[in-house]
């Protein structure tokens, strides 16, 4: 029964995500832009993509002549679909508690997405900024940003929603057992 509910909610949230992702992109890019500006490096631009509704995140290097780096926003936050489907597919949770878990999940995954964009931008600067003969990052920082980016690309996109869902569900189960 859980698997059927999971497939149903995954399809539902995928369709919902497709139409709501431009709105989420605006919020995510606005917050990420402020965080990146606080880190005193770079400039973040969000532009409409040529491919329909999707938006792309354009990151400009400190030297304004360098070409921008592009990230497709859907690769940053597609993991929301799985997280939301997992939260709504779990049986035997009342609606109010499920809604609380859902809202908490949105808050947590949004923070993960902001961190993910920050790491992607810092990694690109760390790898390419020395072309301008200015050293902004130590070798240690370059390795740290490289490893964080690899984590988010290889593991974080698939396992982060499952990890967040597990933590939320264990918290719910634990508080239910204690009462």
What is the average pLDDT value for the chain, to the nearest integer?
75
Strands 55-60 and 43-48 come out as antiparallel
Considering only residues 106 and 153, tell me which one the structure prediction assigns the higher pLDDT. 106
**52 — pLDDT class (breaks 50, 70, 90):** very low
Confidence at residue 146, expressed as pLDDT on a 0 to 100 scale: 79
More confident of the two residues 87 and 39: 87
Model confidence over 5-43: pLDDT tens digits?
Answer: 999 999 999 999 888 887 887 788 778 777 777 765 555
Higher pLDDT, 2 or 128: 2
Q: For residues 56 and 126, what is the distance between their CA atoms, to the nearest angstrom?
A: 21
pLDDT of 123: 75
Mean pLDDT of 59-78: 60
Percent of the residues in the chain that have a pLDDT greater than 70, as a whole number: 66
State the pLDDT at residue 159. 85
Q: Per-residue pLDDT for 101 more than 80?
A: yes
Q: What is the mean pLDDT of residues 118-125?
A: 76
pTM as predicted: 0.76
Instruction: Specify the pLDDT at position 41.
Output: 53
The closest alpha carbon to 124, from 65, 71, 47, 75, belongs to 71
Residue 86 or residue 31, greater confidence = 86
Q: Are 37 and 51 in contact (CB under 8 A)?
A: no
| Helix ranges restricted to H, 73-155 | 73-77, 79-89, 95-128, 139-151
């Amino acid at each position: 029964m859980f698997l059927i509910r999971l497939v149903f909610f995954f399809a539902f949230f995928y369709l919902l995500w497709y139409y709501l992702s431009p709105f989420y992109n605006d919020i995510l890019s606005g917050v990420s832009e402020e965080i990146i500006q606080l880190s005193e490096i770079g400039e973040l631009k969000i532009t409409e993509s040529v491919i329909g509704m999707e938006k792309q995140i354009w990151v400009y290097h400190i030297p304004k002549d360098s070409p921008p780096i592009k990230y497709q926003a859907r690769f940053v936050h597609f993991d929301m679909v799985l997280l939301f489907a997992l939260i709504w597919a779990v049986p035997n949770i009342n609606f109010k508690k499920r809604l609380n878990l859902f809202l908490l999940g949105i808050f947590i995954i949004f923070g993960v997405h902001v961190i993910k964009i920050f790491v992607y931008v810092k990694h690109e600067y760390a790898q390419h900024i020395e072309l301008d003969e200015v050293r902004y990052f130590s070798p240690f920082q370059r390795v740290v940003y490289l490893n964080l980016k690899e984590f988010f690309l290889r593991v974080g996109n698939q396992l982060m929603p499952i990890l967040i869902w597990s933590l939320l569900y264990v918290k719910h189960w634990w508080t239910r057992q204690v009462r």
